[in-house]
Amino acid sequence: MNSYDIVVIGGGAVGLSLSYLAAKKGYRVALVESGHLCSGATGRSAGIVTLQLSLEEDVAMAAKTIELFREVGKGFGTEFYRTTGFLTLVPERMLEETIEPLRSNNVGYMVLRADEVKRYVPFLKAHDHEVGVLTSNDMVVDASEMGRAFRYALNEMGVSVIEWNGRGAIHVEGGEVRGVMANGQSLIKGDAYVFAAGPWNKTLLGGLGITGVPLTVYKCQVVRLCAERTLDYVPFYVMGEHLYMRPDGNGTSIAGNGYARVVERPEDAMDGLEKEYVQHIAELLAERVLDPSGFRVCGGWSGPCSITPDGYPVIGRIPGLRGAYIVDGLDGYGLMRAAGVAELALKAVEGEELPKYSAERFKGREEQEELVVELHSV
Ligand SMILES: Cc1cc2nc3c(=O)[nH]c(=O)nc-3n(C[C@H](O)[C@H](O)[C@H](O)COP(=O)(O)OP(=O)(O)OC[C@H]3O[C@@H](n4cnc5c(N)ncnc54)[C@H](O)[C@@H]3O)c2cc1C
């Protein structure tokens, strides 16, 4: 079969979630991935899926992701995640605004005094003016296992999953996508094409002559830390320093913060850790960890993230390309919102207008592109 209701371009967290949700609703779906599933930003992420986000709608999206990942993991026999819970350390004066998005989404939480935080993260230094907010359903995802789990689930659901397809396979004619060449052999056609190529959307669309979706690609990094002994703690985020950390098995941890360096192409973001970044994380940890000498940096990696001028995702029709839709601009936390944005993308394909996320909102505002990224810098 070469004709589908929906052709999804990109097999990261978003494309996989979208393919799954669409197939579950009975659509005939093909998923085309240039490499292997989760070989893009998803595979380079820190794997954190938390409900503790500052926007109400983001919490709702993360809740959907947790639900969908559980469904795929349990339903198809590969649990590619661990339910870990999550702890945010905030100054007490910011407690209300931290818990409000949780409350309005009916997410249960516990507030911990500074001296209670060590029960969950024994090595974390919490100051007297700080409190911990603890949630329990948050998870940590193993992205390579995730690719395997979704491949199996999608195959079972009848989705055509085409991997190793290269990047230049999209055929456009007369302002319309005419098909995607699969393995250089057959043209796959869809009633709708969803560009879920993450940070690659920008170059992909640029190559097709489409410039109406302003996106900035930037470099994200994570540091791997090794400790002498096995560490068991709840993944956490320290609001003041934007520092997050989570255990990764065998005495290792992953840590990072909101650093952003704008790059031209996603590949430019895959050149590994920067010395200054490692130094910065080490300094933050020295402030926050009771025994910093118990940790040493033993690796890490980098990858591309992408963002829109106003920081909200772009979901919906691609101006100037009939029958085509985009999901992008997920910043440094797109894994955790994947199912939420995928659900909206499906609604857009079904004809629903999403003015808040539409690419049309950027008409004439392209010059603000760099501004938001600055705000996320170290
Ligand atoms: C270092 C780092 C740490 C991060 N940590 C977290 C975290 O802990 N939690 C979190 O929620 N988010 C995190 N993120 C952000 C998160 O990884 C992304 O927001 C999310 O993975 C985006 O998913 P996606 O499916 O949109 O993109 P991707 O995962 O990049 O998927 C797009 C796919 O499209 C493919 N593709 C590209 N071009 C084509 C083409 N022409 N045809 C077909 N396929 C194509 C790519 O190979 C890729 O697999 C992190 C990112 C980085 C880099």
* Chain segment 71-95, per-residue pLDDT in tens: 999 888 888 999 999 999 999 999 9
Residue 160 contacts residue 102 (beta carbons within 8 Å): no
Residue 369 predicted with pLDDT over 70: no
The response to whether residue 19 sits with its C-beta less than 6 Å from ligand 1 reads: no
- b/e 69-81 (16+ beta carbons within 10 angstroms → b): beebbeebebbbb
What pLDDT shows up at residue 75?
86
Q: What angle do CA 27, 28, 32 make, to 5 degrees?
A: 120
Residue 38: inside a domain: yes
Instruction: Locate 370 and state its tokens.
Output: 């760099």
Helices (H), 111-266: 143-156, 201-207
Q: Indicate the number of domains in the chain.
A: 1
Residue 370 predicted with pLDDT over 70: no
The mean pLDDT value for 248-262 works out to: 91
Residue 93: inside a domain: no
Residue 76: inside a domain: no
Residue 373 predicted with pLDDT over 80: no
**What's the mean per-residue pLDDT of the chain?**
94
The mean pLDDT value for 336-363 works out to: 96
User: What's the pLDDT band for 371 if we cut at 50, 70, 90?
Assistant: very low
Residue 22: inside a domain: yes
d(CA 75, CA 80): 12
Atom of ligand 1 nearest to the CA of 43: 29
**ipTM for this model:** 0.99
The response to whether residue 167 sits with its C-beta less than 6 Å from ligand 1 reads: yes
The mean pLDDT value for 249-256 works out to: 94
Q: How many C-beta atoms lie closer than 10 Å to residue 83's C-beta? A: 14
Q: What is the pLDDT of residues 126-159, one digit of tens each?
A: 999 999 999 999 999 999 899 999 999 999 999 9
Query: The domain spanning residue 44 has which CATH number?
Result: 3.50.50.60
What residues make up the domain containing 315? Answer: 3-51+143-213+310-368
Residue 100 predicted with pLDDT over 50: yes
What pLDDT shows up at residue 372?
44
239 or 75, which is more confident: 239
Residue 152: inside a domain: yes
Torsion angle of C-alpha atoms 344, 350, 355, 357, degrees rounded to 10? 30
Q: Which of 305, 308, 344, 376 to mutate to test the pocket of ligand 1 (most atoms within 8 A of CB)?
A: 305
Residue 170: inside a domain: yes
Residue 339: inside a domain: yes
**Which 3 state secondary structure label does DSSP give 170?**
strand
The mean pLDDT value for 252-260 works out to: 90
d(CA 220, CA 258): 8
The mean pLDDT value for 325-350 works out to: 98
What pLDDT shows up at residue 366?
53
Atom of ligand 1 nearest to the CA of 48: 8
Residue 351: inside a domain: yes
What pLDDT shows up at residue 287?
94
Please name the residue whose Cα sits nearest to atom 47 of ligand 1: 40
The response to whether residue 11 sits with its C-beta less than 6 Å from ligand 1 reads: yes
Least confident window among 112-116, 140-144, 210-214, 245-249: 210-214
